[in-house]
Amino acid sequence: PRKELIVVTPTYNRALQAYYLNRLGQVLRLVPPPLVWIVVEMETVSVETAEILMKTGVVYRHLVCAKNSTDVKDRGVHQRNTALEHIEHHKLDGIVYFADDDNIYSLELFESLREISRFGTWPVAMLAQSKNKAILEGPVCNGSEVIGWHTNEKSKRLRRFHVDMSGFAFNSSTILWDPKRWQRPTSNPIRQLDSVKEGFQETTFLEQVVEDENQMEATPPGCSRIMNWHLHLEARELVYPRDGCFRRTLTLF
Ligand code: UDP
What secondary structure letter does DSSP report for 231? -
Residue 243's CB is within 10 A of a number of other CB atoms, namely: 7
Sequence letter at residue 198? E
Q: Whose CA is nearest to atom 17 of ligand 1?
A: 75
> Rounded mean pLDDT of 9-24?
95
Q: Whose CA is nearest to atom 24 of ligand 1?
A: 232
Residue 248: is its pLDDT beyond 50? Answer: no
Give the model confidence (pLDDT) of 46-83 as tens digits: 999 999 999 999 999 999 997 766 666 677 889 999 99
Question: What's the pLDDT score for residue 247?
Answer: 44
Is the alpha carbon torsion for 178, 204, 212, 94 positive or negative?
A: positive
Sequential DSSP letters for 151-162: --GGGTTT-SS-
CB under 6 Å to ligand 1: residues? Answer: 9-12, 42, 75-76, 79, 100-102, 232, 234
Residue 12: is its pLDDT beyond 50? Answer: yes
The three-state secondary structure class of 96 is strand
Residue 58's CB is within 10 A of a number of other CB atoms, namely: 21
Question: What's the pLDDT score for residue 119?
Answer: 96
| Pairing relationship of beta strands 35-41 and 60-64 according to DSSP bridges | parallel
Q: What is the CA(79)–ligand 1 centre distance, in A?
A: 10
ipTM over cut 0.85: yes
pTM for this entry: 0.89
User: Which residues are tagged catalytic?
Assistant: 202
CA atoms of 206 and 199, how far apart (whole Å):
13
| 3-state helix, strand and coil shares in percent for the chain, rounded to the nearest 5 | 30, 25, 45
> What b-and-e string marks burial along 131-167, b requiring 16 or more CB atoms within 10 Å of the CB?
eeeeebbbbbbeeebbeebbbeeeeeeebebbbbbbb
What mean pLDDT, rounded, does the chain reach? 86
CA atoms of 234 and 103, how far apart (whole Å):
10
Give the model confidence (pLDDT) of 118-164 as tens digits: 999 999 998 766 666 778 999 999 999 999 999 876 655 678 999 99
Residue 115: is its pLDDT beyond 90? Answer: yes
